[in-house]
Amino acid sequence: MVKETKNIIGYLPDERPSWGKLILFAFQHILVMFPATVLVALLTGFHISTTIFASGLATLCFILVTKGKIPLYYGSSFSYIAAIIGITCITTPGEIASDALIGQAQFGIILSGFVSIGAGLIVNAFGFAKIQKVLPPAVTGPVAMIIGLSLAGTALSQASGYNADLGTVSQSSWAIALITLISIIVYTVIFKKGVLSQLPILLGILTGYVAALLSDTFFRTNMLDFSNVFAEGFVNVPHFTLPVPSWTAVFAIMPIALATIPESTAHLFQIDLYVNDLAKKKATTKKYPINDKLGLNLIGDGIGDIVSGFVGGPAGTNYGENISTMAITKNFSIWVLGAAAIFTMIIAFFTPLANLIYTLPSAVIGGASIYLFGVIAAQGIAIMIEKKVDMFDAKNMAIIAVILIFGVGGSFLFGGVIPMFGMQLPAIATAAIAGILLNAGFLIGTAISKKTKKIEAIQE
C-alpha cells in the first residue's frame, strides 16, 4: 500500500487504500454507476442482471488491457440507445426483448468494438499530436459539456418525481432530492481530511435514503418498497445470450462507435487533468501521461464492447458519473475501480443485493445526479481552460456553438434522437460528428489557403 503524502488527501492510479477503505470507495462507485447502467437495460430490453455483470466484466478487461494505467469505469452508453432499440423493437421501458433480437444487437455491438480498436491502432500509429488536430479541446470540451447537460432533464425528472402523463411533480420527492443534493455539497465542502473526504457521494446518498425512510414512516410517502428484495430467490445466474449475425444491426449500431470517440477522448482529458493536478499537489516525481494513452484507451473501450456484447450486455463507454466521483473525492485508484467491478459482478448473481440497490428512491438518485451531471459539464469547461482554447477565435466559437446546440437542443427538444432527412440521429453523437466535420473543414480550408499563398509567392 502506498502511503498518502502529508496533508494531501487522495489516491493516484497506482496507489491502494487500506482494504476497509477500498470496499467503501468501491461501493460508492457502484452506487453512482448503477442507475444509468440499469436505465439503459430498461430502455433497450436487455436483461438487467446481465447488463450489470457485463459492466463489471468489461471494466476488469479494460483495466487489464490498459495495464492499470487509465482509471476509468466502463458502463452502458446512452449514445447507442436509439440504435439498439431499433433492433430490439422495445416500446415500453422494462420490457424484455427476445433472445434472438438481443443476439442481433449483440452482433452489432461486438463489431462496434472493433471500430474502437481500429481507431485506437490508428492513434498509436500516427501519434496523439496529429489526432489532436482532428479532436482538439474545442471539440472534446463541448462534447464533455453536453454529456452532462443532456442529462439535466433526467436528473430533474427524478428529483421532482415528475409524472409526464399528468404533468405533475411530487413535493416530497423534491424535499428528499434537495436533502440529498445539499448533503453531498456539505460533505464535499466540510470534509477536507480523512476517510470522510473520500465519501461525499456515498454519504449524501445514504443521508437521502434515511430521509426517505423517515418520510415513509411519518408521512406515508411510500418512496421505499422492500417487497421484492427476496422475491426472486437468493442466487440467480444472469441470463446470458449468444450473438446472432445481423447486418442490419451492424449498420445500425457500428457507426455509433465513431461518434463516441470524442466522448472517450474528453473523458481521458478530464482524468489526465485531475490526476496530474493531484500528483502536483502530492509533490510526487512520478509522471502520469494519461493523455498520451488515447489509443490504448480506445482499444480498451473496444475490448469492453466486445466482452459486453458476447455475454449479452449493451455497448458501453467510460462513465462520466464515475469520473465526477473521482474528481470530487480525488480518488483515482485502479484498485478501487477493480474492486467495484468485482462487486458489481457479484451483485449480478445475488439478486437480493441488486434488489436492495433498486430500492433507492428516484428522488435520491435525482439529487445526486444534479451534482454529478453538473460536474461532468463543468469538466468540459475545465478542459477548454486548461488547454487555453481561444474563445475569441471565430473557428473555435463556430465549433463550440454547433456542438452545444445540436447536443443540448437535440436532447431536450427531441428526447435525445434528432429526426433529420428521414433518419433518427442520436443527439450527442450527431453533435460530436458535426463538431469533428466542422473542425476538419477548417483544417482543409487552412491547408488550401497556405498552399495557395505559397503558389502565389512562387509566381511573384
Segment 342-351 mean pLDDT: 92
pLDDT at position 35 is: 73
Give the model confidence (pLDDT) of 82-98 as tens digits.
678 778 987 665 678 99
Helix (H/G/I), strand (E/B), else coil: 208: helix
Q: What mean pLDDT is predicted for residues 153-166?
A: 88
Per residue in 393-447, pLDDT (tens digit) is 999 999 999 999 999 999 889 877 889 999 878 787 788 889 999 999 999 999 9
Q: Would you place residue 172 in the very low, low, confident or very high pLDDT band (cuts 50, 70, 90)?
A: very high
High-pLDDT (> 90) share of the chain, %: 49
Compute CA distances 315 → 101, 122, 149, 169, whole Å. 15, 21, 21, 33
What is the predicted pLDDT for the residue at 147? 77
Q: How far is CA 303 from the centre of its chain?
A: 16
Whole-angstrom distance, CA of residue 265 vs CA of residue 297: 8
Check whether 263 has a pLDDT greater than 80: no
Look at residue 181 in the predicted model and tell me its pLDDT.
96
Please tell me the distance from the alpha carbon of residue 442 to that of residue 438, in angstroms, as a whole number.
Answer: 6
Query: How does residue 162 score in pLDDT terms, banded at 50, 70 and 90?
Result: very high
Contact at 8 Å (CB) between 429 and 259? Answer: yes
Q: Which residue has the cell 434528432?
A: 418
Do residues 282 and 14 lie in contact, with contact meaning Cβ atoms separated by under 8 Å? Answer: no
Question: What is 333-347 written as a DSSP string?
Answer: -HHHHHHHHHHHHHH
What number is the average pLDDT over the span 68-78?
89
* pLDDT at site 109: 95
CB 288 within 8 A of CB 279: yes
**What are 327-341's pLDDT values in tens digits?**
888 999 999 999 999
C-alpha cell at 77: 452508453
Percent of the chain with pLDDT over 70: 95
Residue 299 burial (10 A CB sphere; 0-12, 13-18, 19+) = buried
pLDDT digits 0-9 by tens, 105-152: 999 999 999 989 998 998 898 877 777 788 888 998 898 888 788 878
The predicted pLDDT at position 209 comes to: 94
Task: Give the confidence band of 284 by pLDDT, cuts at 50, 70, 90.
Answer: confident
Stretch 380-389: mean pLDDT, rounded? 88
Average pLDDT, stretch 302-310?
95
pLDDT at 92: 65
Residues whose CB is less than 8 angstroms from the CB of residue 395 and which lie 6 or more positions away in sequence, other chains included: 138, 439, 442
- Nearest 5°: the CA angle 433, 438, 440 is 95
Structural domain spans, the chain? 19-451
pLDDT the model gives residue 296: 94
Mean pLDDT across the chain: 88
Structure confidence at residue 56 as a pLDDT band (50, 70, 90):
very high
pLDDT for position 94: 65
- Dig out the grid coordinates for 66 from the structure: 490498459
Question: Looking at per-residue confidence, does 296 or 45 come out higher?
Answer: 296
